């Protein structure tokens, strides 16, 4: 059995550079998000930092 090993995924760069723009044009893949965190995206409560003044 012959195993071919890649040190890093080369197909990922091609996917991001070639496929994602097409999906964005069709409205399938987002260009911007409403929030910059997962918690904000899901609409969850932001707890206060207990160490801040």
pTM (predicted TM-score) = 0.53
pLDDT recorded at residue 25: 96
pLDDT recorded at residue 33: 79
Asked whether residue 30 carries a pLDDT value surpassing 70, the answer given is: yes
pLDDT recorded at residue 24: 95
Q: How far is CA 27 from CA 3, 31, 35, in A?
A: 39, 9, 18
d(CA 19, CA 22): 5
Tell me the domain boundaries of the chain: 10-41
Asked whether residue 40 carries a pLDDT value surpassing 80, the answer given is: yes
Model pLDDT for residues 4-29, shown as the tens digit of each residue: 666 666 788 888 899 999 999 999 99
């Amino acid at each position: 059995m012959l195993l071919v090993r890649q040190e890093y995924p080369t197909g990922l760069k091609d996917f991001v550079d070639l496929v994602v723009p097409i999906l964005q044009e069709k409205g399938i893949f987002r260009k911007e998000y409403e929030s910059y965190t997962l918690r904000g995206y899901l609409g969850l409560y932001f707890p206060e930092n207990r160490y801040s003044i």
